[in-house]
Structure 1
Amino acid sequence: MIADSPPSNASEWSVSDLAGALKRTLEDSFGHVRVRGEISGFRGQHSSGHAYFSLKDQNARLDAVIWKGTYGRLRIKPEEGLEVIATGRITTFPGKSTYQIVVDSLEPAGIGALMALLEERRRKLTAEGLFETARKRPLPYLPRVIGVVTSPTGAVIRDILHRLEDRFPVHVLVWPVRVQGETSAAEVTAAIRGFNALSADGAIPRPDVLIVARGGGSIEDLWGFNEEIVVRAAAESAIPLVAAVGHETDWTLIDHAADRRAPTPTGAAEMVVPVRVDLLAGVNDLARRHAESVLRMLDRRKTDLRSVARGLPGPDALFAAKRQKLDLAATKLAPALARNARDHEIRLRDVSGRLAAFSPAARLAGLRARLDGIGTRPQDAVGRLIDHRTGRLAELATRLAAGRAVVVRAEIGRIAQQRETVLRLTERLVPALSGQLARKRTRYGSSAQLFDSLNYKSVLARGFAIVRDADGRMLRQASAVTDGQALVLEFVDGTAEATGGRGTKPKGGAKTRTPPAAQGALF
């Protein structure tokens, strides 16, 4: 037998009360703490948007959570293996009996951690090919519109505008952003992609080149330009991009992804436009040299023309040989023409003799003689043909008249025969139609009697009634009626309202008397 435990005056706690007391104790004692440790177990944001990981050192491990709203505002995002200083408050999670830190901000644990993170990110993006020299494009020589992504209130934008005004005034579009702070990376990314989204023929002109600029500062100040989203936006830009972040010794990841890197914002302005005065001087010099070269060419061509003209022969020398050939040909022409005329005269006499036998006059005389021999034979033949055709037509007219009479008599007989057939059919149709109507009338009367016998109105006429509830549903059994229930009774001549009541259940074969209040529910 187990002995009873000795009584105790210690108060009892429920699990929830104890967990709540521990939570309040921790939060009161560690309401605001800064913890240094290495991030472990980070696998990115949860589907809910929250981030869960651990902070550890060589001896201990602390669970950590960053809520969704805080995660979006962090300047430094958690990464596996990164040593950080986390600021937040200690609390408990009663569901697992554990404690954790709710992180409000993260910062790298010293410059060494930032440099290690920067180097790791640089190697990752280099492996993806974002820093390849082959993908960098040349800048346009004379851009019409320049887009500048920078702070609108700093000295950087004034230096860029002043240098552009001195060198080559162009249309400048400024996209104002924060160049430092938690939202800097997101704003710079949105500006680069916003300039690329502009239409070439829209109300706002699309820039021909972009400048992303910022003044100098520490690595923490320039950290927004080392974020992946900024580097990827610069690499994806369809518009050539110049990075001018910090001083000449300051390097950020956007410098590697940009098409050109300028040591200073002023240097970026010098890269994207030439010096207008130098261009004008160059054009004027080229125009002067062009005019002088044209004059020298004309002088040289004149000299060459005079030299060639001196080497040409005179007009007499050119035409002497031709004139001599013409005189010789004129001397030979007269005898040659006489011989040619005699030859053609002999050939013409021979041809005239051969053509005399085939002349039109000779052929016409022969044809006239043949016509005189024919005489009146064609006219006589035509008369005989007309007489023959007239006789044939008269014979055909006689035959057609006889055939038409035969056809008319045959049609008259056929019409009379069909009239007799119609009369016989009419005499048979009237009795048949009368018999069919009588049969239809008999069938209709039988169907009407059957309908009347099956119609529930006939049953109501015999003294019965239909009981329905207030919703119109038919009640078939007394058990469906409740006391005081509103009922509607349908008789053969109309309806009546009643109130239902339950009678006593019959025992054996005895009849049950229905109270007057329930009699309206029966039929």
Structure 2
Amino acid sequence: MDLIDEAGEGNTPEFSVSELSGAVKRTIEGGFGHVRVRGEVGRVSRPRSGHVYLDLKDDKAVIAGIIWKGVAARLPNPPEEGMEVVATGRLTTFPGQSKYQIVIEDMVPAGAGALMAMLEKRKAKLAAEGLFDAGRKRPLPYLPEIIGVVTSPSGAVIRDILHRLRDRFPRKVLIWPVAVQGANCAAEVARAIDGFNQMTPGGALPRPDLLIVARGGGSVEDLWGFNEEVVARAAAASEIPLISAVGHETDTTLIDFVSDKRAPTPTAAAELAVPVRMELAAQARDMGLRATRAMALRLEHRGQRLRDLGRALPRPETLLDGPRQRLDTLTDRLPAGLSRAVGLQRLKLSETAGALRPGLLRRMLESERKRLEDRAARLTPQAIMREVRQGRERLDRLSARMSEVQGARLADLNRRAEALGRLNETLGYRATLKRGYAVVRGDGQVVTTTAQARAAQALEIEFADGRLALEGDGAAAQTKSPRAKTKPKPPEQGSLF
């Protein structure tokens, strides 16, 4: 039992909140300076600062964790919710929230089972987005001019691909060197695929017609870069047909599902890319021979058909006998036909000439002459002058009406101007002065208060009959009446317009 002093307090030492928090912090950090924790990743938060905040949990407890920005950028497998991991770090406290947490310095999946579970989760996500659909896969070009290869430049894979292409059908090959395993693998492969797609077709460095992403076999961890989501999305977004050849025949990665064609090995990818040149040449020769034989056989058949048809035709002499006889008959009938035609035309001419008698022509001429005289009578100078007089009278009447309307308008405008002048005189301030008011000005400005009047050097009072100036000694000076001003010259007739 603690001893109680006269003031009623025990001998237990007294801490401030900060001191107690610091003592707890030192105790925890001293006892757990370096720990490895296995658990399932719970809530994951990635604020804009770049740090990662997460929870590590099992079926009984939860520990808050934090991964600083620099460490998070180096992790080969970023933490995802539901992933089982082994985290290495140190325990510390956060006094601001009275909690302890682990500052994670390294994090790896807890075995191949965790990696496969994460892979299945990614596969389901990409499949739901339709990246694995067969309808979006493009056919490979039959004989590409340029082939782009994304792989390591120092491995056996590129040598196998080049050797196989040289044996089958030599093509131009562009190699984009990348890391095929490790932390930089996914980012470099995705940049390579996008880089090939950014090239200009037919440029100084032309864009390939076909891409091959290749790597040799390895463990799940070695091939994990090709299971990253960034690589799968880059392959799916590629406009160039892509063949994936990652690992051996039994190895499967996410890029195999989104690529346009999967090859079991890099060598098989080269075989899928180009046909065998010797086989093409043999096939071309065989097709040429077949075409030649087919053409010769067709010509033979057509010649035999032509000969058969020729035997069925009559002799040329027989074909000319009938037309020659008809020509002779028509020649004999021609003189009689000409004589008959001339007689018919002579009869027709006689009938037409009988209808053209002189009396008929004379009546037609008389009728035309009368019609011309009637038209000429209507075109005499008297008729034209009559129409001119009528037009001038109509113009005079219209001018008189316009003069009357213009005069009435001018008179109305003058009356309105006089009314506005009287209204201006009535509403002006001089009319107000005539009713007993006055305007006081100080130093040239209108004065409305006694303070302004006292501050003025000189005052002037305007009455209806003139102005009175008040100088410093109080003497008054009579000024010229505004009435004495020269009256304005009345406006001349028509000045209102």
Post-superposition shift, 1:105? 1.8
Cα distance in 1 for partners of 2:122, 2:316 equals 90
Q: Which amino acid aligns with 2:40?
A: E
The aligned counterpart of 2:184 is 183
The aligned counterpart of 1:35 is 37
Helix, strand or coil at the partner of 1:42: strand
Post-superposition shift, 1:453? 11
The aligned counterpart of 1:26 is 28
Post-superposition shift, 1:243? 0.9
5+ residue gaps, structure 1, are 371-377, 397-438, 463-523
**Stretch of structure 1 that moved more, 76-85 or 57-66:** 57-66
Post-superposition shift, 1:313? 2.2
The aligned counterpart of 2:108 is 107
Cα distance in 2 for partners of 1:351, 1:318 equals 43
The aligned counterpart of 1:220 is 221
CA spacing shift, 1:457–1:343, aligned 2, 3 Å: closer
What's the CA shift string for 1:157-189, capped at 9, x where partnerless? 232233223323333333332221123222222
Q: Which amino acid aligns with 2:176?
A: W
The aligned counterpart of 1:118 is 119
> What are the residue-to-residue correspondences of 1:56-455 with 2, within 5 Å?
56-200=57-201, 204-327=205-328, 329-330=329-330, 334=332, 337-338=335-336, 341-342=339-340, 344-345=342-343, 347=344, 350-351=347-348, 353-358=350-355
What's the CA shift string for 1:123-155, capped at 9, x where partnerless? 343344332333322211122232222223333
Bigger radius of gyration among the two: 1
What's the CA shift string for 1:416-445, capped at 9, x where partnerless? xxxxxxxxxxxxxxxxxxxxxxx9xx99x9
Cα distance in 2 for partners of 1:296, 1:335 equals 56
Cα distance in 2 for partners of 1:81, 1:349 equals 120
CA spacing shift, 1:109–1:459, aligned 2, 3 Å: same
Post-superposition shift, 1:336? 7.1
5+ residue gaps, structure 2, are 367-372, 390-429, 458-497
CA spacing shift, 1:103–1:366, aligned 2, 3 Å: closer
Post-superposition shift, 1:80? 2.9
Q: Which amino acid aligns with 1:84?
A: V
Helix, strand or coil at the partner of 1:165: helix
Fraction of identical pairs, as percent:
52
Asked if 2 retains the 8 angstrom alpha-carbon contact of 1:42 and 1:78, the reply is: no
Post-superposition shift, 1:222? 0.6
Asked if 2 retains the 8 angstrom alpha-carbon contact of 1:73 and 1:183, the reply is: no
What's the CA shift string for 1:93-127, capped at 9, x where partnerless? 11233221111221122222222332333334334
Cα distance in 1 for partners of 2:333, 2:55 equals 130
What's the CA shift string for 1:316-342, capped at 9, x where partnerless? 222233334444x24xx6467437625
CA spacing shift, 1:455–1:240, aligned 2, 3 Å: farther
Post-superposition shift, 1:348? 5.2
Query: How many residue pairs end up in the alignment?
Result: 410
CA spacing shift, 1:199–1:342, aligned 2, 3 Å: closer
CA spacing shift, 1:168–1:459, aligned 2, 3 Å: farther
Helix, strand or coil at the partner of 2:317: helix
Cα distance in 2 for partners of 1:22, 1:366 equals 145
Cα distance in 2 for partners of 1:320, 1:198 equals 80
Cα distance in 2 for partners of 1:242, 1:343 equals 92
CA spacing shift, 1:350–1:123, aligned 2, 3 Å: closer
CA spacing shift, 1:101–1:309, aligned 2, 3 Å: same
Q: Which amino acid aligns with 1:37?
A: G
Post-superposition shift, 1:302? 3.3
Cα distance in 2 for partners of 1:3, 1:140 equals 96
Post-superposition shift, 1:75? 1.5
The aligned counterpart of 1:424 is none
Helix, strand or coil at the partner of 1:310: helix
Cα distance in 2 for partners of 1:92, 1:137 equals 55
TM-score with structure 1 setting the length: 0.64
What's the CA shift string for 1:380-416, capped at 9, x where partnerless? xx9xxx9x98xx9xxx9xxxxxxxxxxxxxxxxxxxx
CA spacing shift, 1:120–1:453, aligned 2, 3 Å: closer
Q: Which amino acid aligns with 1:295?
A: A
Helix, strand or coil at the partner of 2:186: helix
Cα distance in 2 for partners of 1:261, 1:348 equals 96
Cα distance in 2 for partners of 1:297, 1:453 equals 123
Cα distance in 2 for partners of 1:221, 1:71 equals 20
Helix, strand or coil at the partner of 2:207: coil
Asked if 1 retains the 8 angstrom alpha-carbon contact of 2:199 and 2:207, the reply is: yes
CA spacing shift, 1:261–1:44, aligned 2, 3 Å: farther
Cα distance in 2 for partners of 1:57, 1:338 equals 129
Cα distance in 1 for partners of 2:157, 2:361 equals 117
